[in-house]
Amino acid sequence: MTIKKFLLKVTLISFILLAISYTALFISAGRAPDIHSLDQNPEFEVQSAYDLPDFWNLTEIQKIPLNITIEDTRYVWDETHQKNFTVQNLYYTSQYWINNTPLRIDAALVFPDNSSKQLGLVPAIVVMHGIGGNLLQLFNQLYFLAANNYTAIAISFPGHGNSSGPPPVQEWIIPNLAGYNGTITPDLLNQTHFYLITRAAVRAVDVLLNQSVVDPTRIAMTGGSYGGLTTMFASNVYWQKVRSAIPVIASGNLDISFSTPWSLTNLIVNPNEYDLTQPPVSDLIQYFDPIYYVNTTNNPATLFIAGTNDDFFPVETFNNTFYATNNATKAMSMTPAGHHGFLMDPMEGTVLYWLNHTLFNGPAPPIIDVVRDVESTIFGSKLKITANVTCDVPISKVFLATHWEIMGATWKKTEMTQSSGVWTLEKQHLPFNAEITYFVIVELENGEYITFFSSYVWRDEITTWLEIPFFILIGVGLAMPIYLLMRRDVRKMKSRIEATNQRRYLYLNGIQLAGMGTTEIFIFVSLFLPLVVALPESNSFGISLAVVLNEFIDLFPFFAYVVFTCLITGFILTMSKPVLGGLINLIVPIMLVMIGLSMLPMLGAYEDNTLVSGLSGPLVSVGIGLILWFVMCGVQIGFGIFKRKYQKRL
């Protein structure tokens, strides 16, 4: 075999491998679940919702005496708002449960400053925490609401904080259904944590109604995560009193959330043990899925506050829940790249605006009418968005938030152009076919607070005929450096190696190409294997680098560039200089380990979390993906050292 023919085969093989690998790399993010547009029906059975009024007996719930016990009353000066507040710590009974034991709920009431004696009756709001939390985490919100003349009550859910009752572990989310025959019994209800927290929230409203300063016609409810789910339950059950609901980072369609591989709901209910789509679990879950509650005619005015990258609830579940809400007074405030409680845009202004509208008949949120059009162009298609916005207050800006559904892409927010009372923006196609997720954000002029509302979320595919030429160009562009490096190596060694040993050298290069190509394939595969495994002794919830690049890249936007640069550079150099290529490939796993170690102290912040403290065994362990990546880099470096020694012998 001549050197020329050998190099030709090397180039051909490299081109094929690179073209296939990097085509897959760009499109391997996987198509996200379908997002329903407003002219489509979400995938749920509406008729199930009609059973809910019979499921909750409000009269029976209110027969239980509250037995309010005030532990202490104190006066607090809040530096942030420069106001005095009255704070009461108290307990009340939400129900009697197992063995007729009273379920005592720990609560805190914060009253606004009424030193002027001019407030009169004030509106009131129930504020609820997330799973594993407690009311102590909510005082900043309570003070903010009190500073705006609301009486606010925060509660610790059953099994949280100082409240009695069971913790929200799996056996209380999905109770023992061995004897379930299709009938919901009181005993079964008392073993279901969703039921216990909903009754606690309903009775919190009654505690507010017992306060002489509270206007009984202006009651609202809000909560984050687990508290957001409870908001949708309890506000619907007590619709006669709760006029406004604000679920934050919480949605319905729990079957989608629990079945989504990367959703952190898998840490609460192990999908390997329960199939939420099949009876008897599905029979029970339909009574505790918020999408059925918001679909009833009892549902109060509802504002959904969410993030596109929520770690528990996929974005399509917010869409479906918003669509299902059976009340014309509803709105959504979606943060692009927002996660489950972090990287969220400020929501104080939006909350106050909504409460003023729903409790005091203030200005309504903007009505956002979005016209979507995928138009054909010479090289493919483009997306044209037109937003017609009707609003009672001046509009500050209108944005289009967009996200290409490709690995490593981040959310972008672009200001739309106004002309003749409408806002427009066009998005051109990429060099390859890709789906784009997008929605419109309307920012209002509302004094010191940022106030914004958003449209429904859509997803469309933008195509181009440039895709095949683009990937061919990428393949050729990546194959050429390999060709040039190997040609240089062969020419250099030809002048140094005796003719009798040149064939051995060519065999060595062939082994290098096949072996290093195989290690690169394994490194590519490790992208989709778990880097870490959460709760390794129970739920074994794995998180891969592909999931990080798809769902969490907005936390570390620079990391996508590092990963792709290292993958490309490492691939090219490994074919010629395995030691250098292996060292470059090591950069990514080493960075992952460093990021992981830097985040370990954050786990300490959750030591008082009821859910976390109740777990046994390690919270995380190293996944096979990280191990495989390190091993393949070691093989590359080891082969490079062997090659150098072997060449010296030649």
- In 482-496, which positions are buried (b, 16+ CB within 10 angstroms) versus exposed (e)? bbeebbebbeebeee
- How far is residue 221's CA from residue 351's CA, in Å, rounded to a whole number? 11
- How far is residue 359's CA from residue 219's CA, in Å, rounded to a whole number? 8
- How far is residue 364's CA from residue 338's CA, in Å, rounded to a whole number? 24
* Sequence-separated (6 or more) residues with CB below 8 Å from residue 373: 383, 384, 385, 386
- How far is residue 304's CA from residue 310's CA, in Å, rounded to a whole number? 13
Where residue 495 falls among pLDDT bands split at 50, 70, 90? low
**Would you report the helix, strand and coil content of the chain in percent, each value rounded to 5?**
45, 25, 35
- How far is residue 156's CA from residue 144's CA, in Å, rounded to a whole number? 19
Angle, alpha carbons 332-336-337 (nearest 5°) = 130
- How far is residue 558's CA from residue 408's CA, in Å, rounded to a whole number? 10
Where residue 600 falls among pLDDT bands split at 50, 70, 90? low
pLDDT at res. 29:
47
Question: Does position 163 have pLDDT exceeding 70, yes or no?
Answer: yes
Structure tokens at 19: 């073209």
* Sequence-separated (6 or more) residues with CB below 8 Å from residue 293: 49, 52, 232, 233, 236, 237, 252, 299
* Phi and psi torsions of 216, nearest 5°: -70, -10
Rg (CA), the chain: 29
- How far is residue 59's CA from residue 40's CA, in Å, rounded to a whole number? 38
- Do 432 and 405 touch, CB atoms closer than 8 A? no
**Span of 44-58, 132-146, 331-345 with lowest mean pLDDT:** 44-58
Question: Does position 648 have pLDDT exceeding 80, yes or no?
Answer: no
**Span of 30-34, 314-318, 335-339, 374-378 with lowest mean pLDDT:** 30-34
| CA dist 400 → 73, 166, 423 (Å) | 48, 45, 10
- Do 221 and 234 touch, CB atoms closer than 8 A? yes
Question: Does position 611 have pLDDT exceeding 70, yes or no?
Answer: no
Question: Does position 256 have pLDDT exceeding 70, yes or no?
Answer: yes
pLDDT at res. 114:
82
Mean pLDDT of 556-568: 87
Structure tokens at 159: 């099994």
Question: Does position 637 have pLDDT exceeding 50, yes or no?
Answer: yes
Q: What is the mean pLDDT of the chain?
A: 84
For residue range 447-492, list pLDDT tens digits in order: 778 899 999 899 999 999 888 888 878 777 777 887 788 777 777 7
pTM, rounded to two decimals: 0.88
Other Cβ atoms less than 10 A from the Cβ of 393: the count is 15
- Do 423 and 376 touch, CB atoms closer than 8 A? no
Question: Does position 497 have pLDDT exceeding 70, yes or no?
Answer: no
Mean pLDDT of 271-294: 81
- How far is residue 14's CA from residue 6's CA, in Å, rounded to a whole number? 12
3-state secondary structure of 111: strand
Structure tokens at 618: 């390690």
Give the CATH H-level superfamily of domain 368-461: Immunoglobulins (2.60.40.10)
| CA dist 221 → 132, 231, 351, 603 (Å) | 19, 6, 11, 30
Kindly list the domain boundaries of the chain, sorted by start residue: 3-30+467-649, 46-360, 368-461
Pairing state between β 242-248 and 214-224: parallel
Q: Same CATH fold, 368-461 and 46-360?
A: no
Structure tokens at 410: 């981040």
Q: Which of 458, 439, 478 is nearest to 571 (CA)?
A: 478
Distance in angstroms between the alpha carbons of the first and the last residue of the chain: 19
* Phi and psi torsions of 177, nearest 5°: -110, 20
Mean pLDDT of 132-145: 94
pLDDT at res. 649:
67
**DSSP-assigned letter for residue 416:** P
3-state secondary structure of 435: strand
Question: Does position 66 have pLDDT exceeding 50, yes or no?
Answer: yes
pLDDT at res. 536:
55
- For every residue of 149-203, DSSP letters joined together read T-EEEEEPPTTSTT--S--S-HHHHS---TT--S---HHHHTT-HHHHHHHHHHH
Length of the chain: 650
Structure tokens at 434: 């890709």
**Span of 249-263, 425-439, 526-540 with lowest mean pLDDT:** 526-540
* Domain 46-360 is found in CATH 3.40.50.1820: yes
Question: Does position 56 have pLDDT exceeding 90, yes or no?
Answer: no
Question: Does position 533 have pLDDT exceeding 70, yes or no?
Answer: yes
pLDDT at res. 15:
53
**Span of 3-17, 136-150, 188-202 with lowest mean pLDDT:** 3-17
